[in-house]
Each structure stands twice: as structure tokens, then as C-alpha cells.
Structure 1
Amino acid sequence: MSYGTAEHPRHLLVDGGPSESSKTLLSVLEKACVDGILKLEALVVTHYDLDHIQGVIELLEKLPPWLQIEDVWFNGYHHLGASDALGAKEGDALSALIRNLGLPWNKYFKKGGADNVGRAVMQNSDAVNLPGGLEIRVLSPDQSGLSALNRVWKNPAIPPPEPEDMPRDVLGRDDSWPPGEFSATRVHLFTSDRSVSNQSSIALHITFDSKHVLLAGDAFADVVTAGLQLNGPSVENFDLLKVSHHGSKGNTHMNLLALIGCKRFLISTNGKSHKHPDHELIERLVANGRSPEIIFNYDTGWSGKWKQRPAGWPFYSTHYPKHGDHFVEVLI
């Protein structure tokens, strides 16, 4: 994400995708260099799922000399305990890289006094102000999300297991094409995601020049909603929502959509593993006469099917990467 002015652009990177996206990530970053240097005001890693963290790990393993990182926002294994104390044998891969490279870590969330170790990045009513006028409010995770992850993440080198009682279709695997008839009633039915990893995901409300963006990571809808309400009067209309959990129906509900009043939605997925985005999620986005623009970062596979509006469904428009591009550029 870039902000600022044409003469002095500034940059924020949120997640790095899976391993296969690392070459594209590196190419995009290198093209943004000015005078041979690219400075990231913050590198945000929303949570420890491999499809969010692998690209970052590969980037830091061979950190380009032209890349400067002012702060890393990441809740490592040691941030999960109530004491938030550093473990002597911190072992997860990203934490080890951050330490070995000597990168600032959660510096905007420092403890008081002489202790320079950053606290967990978590839901708070205080804004973080980055250089150049970017304001960020952390909406997720809350303390219960970090505590839940702490209870199940026993080995810092291995991601925590998923619950064994997850519904069969929680990730949309039973969806088929074309979708069934649109239902204005079904959009209000909602069963929440129960992944402990996603419950700990960072979600951010970003404001610059009176524009508002919600980057939801893989966060829970109820937690994001509570985070917005914690931060006082709601923004009348958000300019963009990066939809949580790649368009899973278990992470975005109608109450959240009503609260943010957004009509532009970004969905990041190729749909290969779980047939994201789920039909029911798209159904919610297009409900209530919203006539939204839905932006996808892949134009093939499951995402590409939404180019053609299903018969009888409300109007929406789609936006995909330009031919030959491996990413989509969105101007807010």
C-alpha cells in the first residue's frame, strides 16, 4: 500500500502471501524504489498462517540491500502470554529472522520505561500515526483472540492445529457453479469462523487524506465490529474493504457491512484450495441494492467465474488484473 505524494511516496506492506507469490512481491517492491531505495514505514504480518507469512519469510531470508524496514508488526509466540515477556528460546521462523536482522519490532507499541520490546499489536482505541500523515487503528485481535491462540500453540516452531469440529463447508468446498438463486433472506444467516489462528489476525482501519480503508486480514467479523465501535463514532462510508479470509462466508456478516457502508471490496485469493470466495459471501456484498465493485487479484479459476453475473442476482461490477499482470492496482 502506497500513500503520500507523487514526489514523496511512502509505503506499507501487509502480508507476503504464500511461497509462490514471493517473486511477484519482490518485483513489485523493487519497481517502487526511488533512487535505488524502498523504505517500508511498516511491514505488517497479520498472523502465522502460511498463506500470509511464507512470502515475508522468503523476503527476509534474502533481504535486498535496497529495502529498508522501519518497523515489523507481528505478534510472535512470546506476545501471546499475559505477561508479554520475551522467551529465552524464541524459535518460530519469522521471529528468529526479525531478531537476527535486528529489525525494529512493534516499536509503535512499546512498553513504558527503558524497555524497548514492543507489546502485542492488538485492538486499541489509540491511533498509530506513521510518517507522512497515515493514521492506523488496530481493530483486531482482541485479548481473547491472543489468549485463545496461547492455549493451543504449544510449540513455537509449528502453527497451532485447527479445531476438529469445523463444519464441512466452512471454507466453501461444497460450492458449485453456477450459484443458486439469490436470497435476500439467507444473507442474514451467519456462522462464524472458529479458527484460533484467524481469531488472532491483525485487522487495520487506515486513514489518509479523508480516505478510509479496512484491511481485515483473516479476522473475525465480531472482533472487527467491536474494534470499530471502540474507536468512537463510525465512519459514514469506508472507501475500500479488503474482505477477511479471502472471501470466506464465516468472516464477514451483514452487521459489519452495514456499519462501514462500503461499496468497493477487494478479495485476495485464487480459489485453488477452498473455492474462495464463497457464494454466500458474494451474496452479502451485493445485497441491499449496494451495487458494489468487487476487485479480484486473480482473473482465472474460481475468482474468474464472477466475471459473469449469475442469473437473477443483483447488479455488481468486477475488476481484475490487466492482461499479463500478476497483481491488481487499486486507486483510492
Structure 2
Amino acid sequence: MFKLHAVQAQFGDALILEFETARKRRFILVDGGPPGSFEADLDAALKEIAGPGATLDLLVLSHVDNDHVIGVLDLLAAAEEDIADGRDPRVTIKGLWHNSFGRSIDPDGEITQRIQQLMTLAGSAAVSMPFATDAFLGVREGQKLGVMARKLGIPVNRGFDGDLILADTAKRPIPVNGLTVRVIGPSKANLDALRKEWLAWLARAEADAARDPGTAAMSDRSVPNLSSIVLHVAFAGRTVLLTGDARGDHIVQGLRRAGLLDAAGTCHVDVLKVQHHGNDRNADGGFFRTVTADTYVISANGKYGNPDYDTLKWIVEAADGRAIRLVVTNETETTRKLLETHDPARHGYAMDVLPKGRHSIGVELAP
């Protein structure tokens, strides 16, 4: 048995992989969603799927954006509270995979310090920079995650060189209790390039803020992405590609490096978790012709325009009539538009939406 459960995480991500070995059901949690997700859906979904007091073979935080990390922090806080109150913890976690911002992009702390100074300057001028603020808060929450994991005795990045999960050093498939996991990203080159993007963005924002804080606020939407762990997971002859918020070209580079592209330069998986909630800045039509799937999972609720209509259109048009399934956690303006412009019967796709009031929607890969 092999399933992927997409938990209702509104504009964020929370995914549960369920698989069975030797008649024992096993679970991996990937991300935890934004503020409120744990109380509203993740806690209940874990109880429904894994049962009270379940064991997670692995917890993966793809990156430290607030829409991925907060639910993870709330889960660990709840487990810590259970122990403090003399109850069995609601979940036991055998290991955590997580690249901290400091280790991956900011080893000398310069970027974090300059972001904090920029936020202080904007705040003193009564200027809001929500995207940069979210990024900074995510960095701090990622640091908090490492502390909480150590308090609970959860091993972090066990077996990875230099405490970093990198495609360059994790070149071989990693067995996880019967699963085969390949690290597709990030690479060192991705991290080096991203550090340069952050430094360039900071230089522009600081110069704008020195002249007029309002100008810096207008460029706030251009804050660089944070690096995502990308994993190719195989079990029972089925495959899932977990992408976080990674860029499409970086994903393809990682698949090529791992030898997962075929002679035609394409890769097919059973399930693709569409990166960055279907944002069209992280993919293009070419990506979905290169990386194809039978099922495309998108976690988004319309916030920030996600999923973008173009992304949905690219997926359907790249399939070129091949039968595919779109699994979305919420109906949005763009999912309705796709159904209007691309008739499912004519284009060969089906769309399943997580029902209201349900905590997750499952995709069965192997019985």
C-alpha cells in the first residue's frame, strides 16, 4: 500500500506519505502548513490517517517559508506539551530533514542581520513589507525548529555531510524503511546563486529605503525564494516527486544529475506535487512537457493568485489528451476558469477538489 495524502493547508503545504512494509503501516510528514493549519486540519488528519500516538519515520521541512514551517512547529510544541503533562506524545518522530537558512544560504549571518535592519527601518517609517517580513519570520522559525527538535531528541539530517541535504553529496538513493528516496535538490550551485540573489535584493532594497522607504516596500514582492529540498520517492513500483517551492529549471537539473531523465530528456512520475502552489514564476509550459505525471497535486486557496491559471493550462495542454488527474485542496477562481476554457472531456483530465469539512484528500498509488 502506498498513498499520498494532501492535507488542507490553505495557501501552504502539508503532505503525508503512507506506505506499508511487512504489514506495518509507516508515515512520513512533509511540511506542516501556515499558521492555524495544525489546529484546523493537520492534527486531525494525522489522527485519522496514522492514529493517535503514531510514529513518523521521517519529518521533512522542504524550506522555512511560514506557509510550510508553522504547522511543523505547532506539531512539535503539541508533542512537547503532551510529555510535560504526562501524556503519551501524539506523535513520535524518528528523524528530521531540514536545511536551515543559516547553513544553506547565510553561513556568516550577514543576510539575516541586514534583513532585520531593513525591517527595523521600514517599521520606523510605518511602511509595511509583508513579503520580506514573512521571509524573515520564516528564517527565525526555522532556527526555532532546530532547537525544538533537539529538545525532543529528534535526530536532524542524520547521515548527511556537513548537516546539509544537498544533491551534490547525497548522490545515492537513500533507503527509508522500504522507500527509496533520491535527493534532487538543492545543489550547491543553487544555494550559491540564491545567496547572490539575496545580497543583490538587499542592496537594492537598502538603497531604496535610504531614499524613500515606500519605494523599498513597492519592490517587496521581488524578495528571493528560499531554497527547497526536492525529493524523488519510489515504492512498490510507483513514484512521487515532492518539489516544495523549487524552481522548475532547478528540478530538471536535479533530475538530470540523478540520471532520472530518459533518452528523450523527460521524466515521468505517478504523482507530481506541483511546486510553489502552482505559481507561474516557478514553472513554464516546457517544464510540464519535461516532467509529466498521472496525477498533479496542488495545495493552494487562491491567495497570491495561486494556482495561476497559466500553470493549470500548461499542465493540461502538456498532457495533450493523455488522461491525467488534478487534485486540488481548494476550488479557486483559476480552477473554475480552467474548467470553463478547457473542457475535461475534450482534454482528457479530471479534477478532484478536497471536500469542504474534510482534513485531507488521498491519492492511492499502490493497493
- Report the TM-score, using the length of structure 1 for normalisation: 0.75
- Say which SS state the counterpart of residue 282 (structure 2) adopts: coil
Cα deviation, residue 234, structure 1: 2.6
Gaps of 5+ in 1: 85-89, 112-117, 155-159, 165-192
Q: Does 1:254 align with 2:285?
A: yes
Instruction: Kindly indicate whether residue 37 of structure 2 is the aligned counterpart of residue 32 of structure 1.
Output: no
Deviation of 1:80 after TM superposition, in Å, equals 2.1
Q: Does 1:330 align with 2:360?
A: no
Taking the aligned partners of 1:27 and 1:162, their CA distance within structure 2 comes to: 44
In the alignment, the residues of structure 2 paired with residue 232 and residue 11 of structure 1 have an alpha-carbon distance, to the nearest angstrom, of 27
The SS at the match of 1:28 is helix
Distance 1:122 1:39, change over 3 A: same
Pick aligned residue for 1:48 from 64, 87, 96:
64
**RMSD, aligned CA:** 3.1
Name the residue aligned to 1:308.
339
Question: 1:279: how far off?
Answer: 1.1
Match of 2:167 in 1: 123
More deviation, 14-23/253-262? 253-262
Give the equivalent residue in structure 2 for 1:285.
315
**Which residue matches 1:58?**
74
Which of residues 85, 97, 106 is equivalent to 2:157? 106
Moved more, 94-103 or 16-25: 94-103
**Higher relative contact order by CA 8 Å / sep ≥ 6: 1 or 2?**
2
Q: Percent identity over the alignment?
A: 29
Cα distance in 1 between the residues matched to 2:203 and 2:173: 32
Question: CA contact under 8 A between 1:214 and 1:242: conserved in structure 2?
Answer: yes
CA shift for structure 1 position 237: 2.7
SS in 2 for 1:108: coil
Unaligned runs of 5+ in 2: 1-16, 83-88, 109-138, 206-220
Q: What secondary structure, in the 3-state scheme, does the structure 1 residue paired with 2:180 have?
A: strand
Residue 233 of structure 1 deviates from its aligned partner by 4.3
Among 133, 148, 155, which residue is 1:97 paired with? 148
How has the CA–CA distance of structure 1 residues 148 and 60 changed in structure 2, closer, same or farther, with 3 Å as cutoff? farther
Could you tell me which amino acid in structure 2 is paired with residue 25 of structure 1?
L
CA gap of 1:163–1:294, structure 2 versus 1, over 3 A, is farther
Q: Distance in 2 between matches of 1:194 and 1:227?
A: 25
Conserved 8 A contact 1:247-1:267 = yes
Is 1:141 the counterpart of 2:186 in the alignment? yes
1:315 to partner: Cα distance = 4.2
1:83 to 1:278, Cα distance in 2 relative to 1, 3 A: closer
For residues 257 and 162 of structure 1, what CA distance do their matches in structure 2 show? 34
Cα distance in 1, alignment partners of residues 173 and 204 from structure 2? 34
AA in 2 matched with 1:130: V
